[in-house]
A = this chain, B = another copy of it.
Amino acid sequence: MSANAENVSTGAGRPQTTNREELIAAAISLVGPHRSLSTLSLREVARAAGIAPNSFYRHFRDTDEMAAAVIDEAGTAIRHIVKEARQRISPQRSMVVTSMEVFMEQLGADDGLLPLFLREGTAGSEAYKRAVEAQLQFFEQELTGELLRVQSALKNTLYEPELAARAITRLVFAMGTTALDTPPESHPQLITDTVKMIRMIIAGAQKLAV
């Protein structure tokens, strides 16, 4: 996906003054928190990146290929964020609350990668949706493991832990999508609400296991 991402000089040729990364950045800044990638025009992206429209073809076959690269980048970035978030989790702080905080933090982050990701999972072409779905399943697996670890430490068992993880993941993403369209003042309330919902799911999975 990123064979051409580095400014490699293999042999000869005029060096790139614009590269794929810059076009991707231009695309991300253009879509902002509310537009969909599929509404971007080639000329618009080229304009934002400061190149002639036809120069776009030096980097991508078409806008679909660029959109795939953008989603790829967003997925990578989000995986990295999740990894980082896991290191914030400590015995003192609830995993659920910490994760939600990180999630909402990222919703408002300047790079806008999480909003982009949430959006393309529901709008966007088949290919985008598949990319997002793959990431979601990755999160679900991680969360399943995390749930089992915590619960077994507490000597609890869970009913269908994969389903519980799936419910939590989908719910959080749904609430996150809602948050995109509500003012930031309402976000703390949204977080506490979502945390309560997650607690219901976990409590229910415990209860049904008995």
Q: Which residues of A contact B (CB under 8 A)?
A: 36, 119, 122-123, 126, 129, 133, 159-160, 163-164, 166-167, 170-171, 173-175, 177-178, 181, 193, 196-197, 199-208
For the complex, give the distance between the alpha carbons of A2 and B88 in Å: 54
In the complex, chain B residues whose CB is within 8 Å of the CB of A170: 171, 174-175, 178
Once the chains bind, are B203 and A207 in contact (CB under 8 Å)?
A: yes
Once the chains bind, are A193 and B171 in contact (CB under 8 Å)?
A: no
Question: Pick the contact of A202 from B159, B173, B177, B204 — CB < 8 Å?
Answer: B204
Once the chains bind, are B199 and A201 in contact (CB under 8 Å)?
A: no
Given contacts A167-B201, A200-B201, 11 further A-B contacts (CB under 8 A): A36-B123, A123-B123, A126-B181, A133-B178, A164-B200, A166-B197, A171-B171, A174-B174, A199-B208, A203-B207, A203-B208
**Chain B nearest CB, measured from A189 CB (Å):** 11
In the complex, chain B residues whose CB is within 8 Å of the CB of A159: 200
